[in-house]
A and B are shown apart, each in its own frame.
Chain A
Amino acid sequence: MTIDRLASATPVRVARKIKGLSDRAIAWIFVGPTIFLLLAINIFPLIWTINLSFTNYKANRINREVKYIGLRNYERILGDSDIWLSMQATAHFLFWTLFFQVLLGFALAWLINRKFRGNDLWTTIIVLPMMLSPAVVGNFWTFLYQPQIGLFNYIIAFFTGADPSSFEMLGSVDLAPWSIVIVDTWMWTPFVMLICLAGLRSIPDYIYEAAEIDRASKLRQFFTITIPMVLPFLMLAVLFRGIENFKMFDLVVQLTGGGPGSVTEMASINLKREAFEKWRTGYSSAFAIILFVTVFGLASIYVKALNKVKER
């Protein structure tokens, strides 16, 4: 590879001397604006958030004196039972959405990979929900979930014989978390499906042919070839969905708004309430940092595990 690069670099260096800016200058001109934008809108705010997290600042009271209060915000958050409840709600949501999406997504990918006629058209139709605005679609799902007039309740009632006004998907403490899981699964199963499909298609036919010659049963082929070879892809899909769903905001705001009570008040919803309704800017900044570190930490551990699976 180095020889390759040397060989290809020689004429460039000759050409560069002839006219135009040096490659080095061009590199910085090209990368510069992107770095600047990211520094201004991602990094600077992050540092500011860290700074705010040590203060008692309230954004709605500009004239109040801002005091540094050390780690008190962090102490308060770790002792706040509301925060722990919101983490629990997030964990419940994360676990079940990932569970259903992996199960359905893999099954669908496996079926689509049977290459029946018209499979690409149907794949596209299945993919549609994930392309749409979660807020707009989530808002409409509240209509489908209406106890008496909603289509969802009507269909469930039709198949189970229950009274369609006897259960409230969004209004009852037991069902509300599941109503969000259902919509998220409906929206994002296609994503897991697409990644799995890429995995399935990356398995060369000759491996199956060899297994066939060795008279391995179909079931055995599935568990010793298909699953291990798709696993790295599946784990990637889980990583992306995991990060996204940890941040989940728009769908939940529209569906339940964190209610009833606070059973579906996930981390992001809680954060929004602290930051933009109670205006506890310092406190919510500390919470934001804790969330960021949590996602980052979990993702790093997960990526390590993923790399181990890939190396196998």
Chain B
Amino acid sequence: MSYSITEPTSRQKWFAGTLVILYAVITMIPLLWIMMTSFKTPPDSISYPPKVFYTPSLEGYVNLFTTRTRVSPETLASLPPPENFAEEIVRGRDMVIAGPSKFGGRFLNSVIIGFGSTFLSIFLGTLAAYAFSRFKIPLADDLLFFILSTRMMPPIAVAIPIFLMYRKLGLSDTHLGMILLYTAVNISLAVWLLKGFIDEIPREYEEAALIDGYTRFQAFYKVVLPQAATGIASTAIFCLIFAWNEYAFAVLLTSGTAQTAPPFIPTIIGVGGLDWPAIAAGATLFLLPVMIFTVMLRKHLLRGITFGAVRK
């Protein structure tokens, strides 16, 4: 083994490792607390001192997916025995399940709008990025800068005219409206990132294909796209995460049919105050996919963040 003077000593490594792990553990506490709270009963969630050890319960999840009404003890006694665990938990609080809550629908909206806008951003973004990378486009640099500068607008500033425009076009509170809006926001970053990835693919491949009789479009489709697949995938994840997490436009432009989960989750209210386990359950279901994604795809994601920023 060769000796390097720039390699840190093992004591330095140990010291650095301890501090970083300490920071990571502190960082995780709020996230762990969300997940822990989602498995508490409402009284456990607001006990003092905060409970670290408790009997786990699914009450938060049951409350998240149902609406409930309070009934008198007599009515409760006259009911047939509970059919499932959800019913049992709810009856334990002198209530019956009245129906499903809106959470399922809001979550589905997040999925539809998130994937829809990601697909559209990537589809349009890849085409534009390829053109910017390979062809001479007049004022290309200005156009690219202009595309990026649109991200400097505060979302609320954009929301005023969008609100008026959507009201006229009948796009307010629709999936299509939100998909188009998120695509417009995401596409600048998508084009920018994708152009970087496509720039890295040698032109010679396409040229060889063109000589072999492919049309330009075939060369793009059959040669460039497969090569850019990793770059496209990591760009897609960024677009998806943005659309998934977005709040400002969602809260201003949607209220019912197309409302996504982020504006909905904070409005979950239980009987007599905020139902923190239900909120935590909603937050857990909403945040967990992103966390798992991040850990699984960490190499591409972390590279994508620095790559995207440093290239600008």
Contact = CB atoms under 8 A, between A and B. Distances in A.
A116 B160 contact: no
Interface in A43-59: 43-46, 48-49, 52, 59
A45 B294 contact: no
Contact of B247 (A135, A208, A240, A288): A135
Q: Which of A118, A198, A240 has most chain B Cβ within 10 Å? A: A198
A186 B27 contact: yes
Interface stretch (A11-19, A70-78, A170-178): A11-19
B164 A59 contact: yes
Considering the complex of A and B, which 5 residue pairs feature the smallest CB-CB distances, nearest first? Answer: A20-B215, A288-B157, A45-B161, A116-B17, A114-B16
A141 B30 contact: yes
11 contacts: A20-B215, A27-B136, A37-B124, A45-B158, A122-B21, A122-B24, A129-B27, A133-B244, A133-B247, A154-B49, A254-B266
Nearest to B280: A140
Contacts of A116: 13-14, 16-17, 20
Contact of B310 (A14, A49, A198): A198
Contacts of B187: 34, 37-38
B291 A132 contact: yes
Given A11-B210, A133-B290, 17 more contacts: A11-B211, A33-B124, A45-B162, A108-B20, A114-B13, A114-B16, A114-B17, A125-B24, A126-B20, A133-B244, A134-B247, A135-B247, A140-B279, A186-B27, A195-B306, A197-B306, A253-B251
A27 B137 contact: yes
A213 B230 CA distance: 42
B207 interface: yes
Interface stretch (A79-87, A93-101, A291-299): A291-299
Nearest to B293: A131
A236 interface: yes
Contacts of A195: 305-306, 309-310
Interface stretch (B3-11, B55-63, B91-99): B3-11
Interface in B26-61: 27-31, 33-34, 37, 45-50
Interface of A: 8, 11-12, 14-16, 18-21, 23-24, 26-31, 33-35, 37-38, 40-46, 48-49, 52, 59, 104, 108, 111-112, 114-120, 122-129, 131-137, 139-141, 143-144, 146, 148-151, 154, 164, 186, 191, 194-195, 197-198, 205, 208-209, 212, 233, 236-237, 240, 243, 246-247, 249-250, 253-254, 267-268, 271-272, 275-276, 281, 284-285, 288-289, 291-292, 295-296, 299
Interface in B190-216: 191, 203-204, 207, 210-211, 213-216
A271 B157 contact: yes
Nearest to A206: B6
A295 B266 CA distance: 30
Interface string B106-139: 0000000000000000001101101110011100
Contacts of B218: 20
Contacts of B155: 247, 249, 268
Given A52-B161, A112-B16, A250-B248, A137 B37 contact: no
B233 interface: no
Nearest to A141: B30
Give chain B's interface residue range (CB within 8 Å of chain A). Answer: 35 or more
Interface of B: 4-8, 12-17, 19-21, 23-24, 27-31, 33-34, 37, 45-50, 124-125, 127-128, 130-132, 135-137, 143, 147, 149-165, 180-181, 183-184, 187-188, 191, 203-204, 207, 210-211, 213-218, 241, 244-248, 251-252, 261-263, 265-266, 274, 276, 279-280, 282-283, 286-287, 290-291, 293-295, 298, 301-302, 305-306, 309-310, 312
B27 A139 contact: no
Nearest to A269: B156
Contacts of A135: 245, 247, 251, 262-263, 265-266
Q: Which of B125, B137, B155, B157 has most chain A Cβ within 10 Å? A: B157
Contact of A42 (B13, B184, B283): B184
A28 B132 CA distance: 10
B233 to A, nearest CB: 16
Describe A's contact surface by its main secondary structure: helix
A95 B67 CA distance: 44
Given A139-B279, A296-B149, A19 B215 contact: yes
Given A194-B306, A250-B248, A254-B266, A126 B24 contact: yes
A144 B157 CA distance: 31
B169 to A, nearest CB: 10
Nearest to B288: A132
Q: Which of A127, A131, A281 has most chain B Cβ within 10 Å? A: A131
A115 B210 CA distance: 46
A52 B23 contact: no
B12 A114 contact: yes
A33 B121 CA distance: 11
A296 B152 contact: yes
A20 B191 contact: no
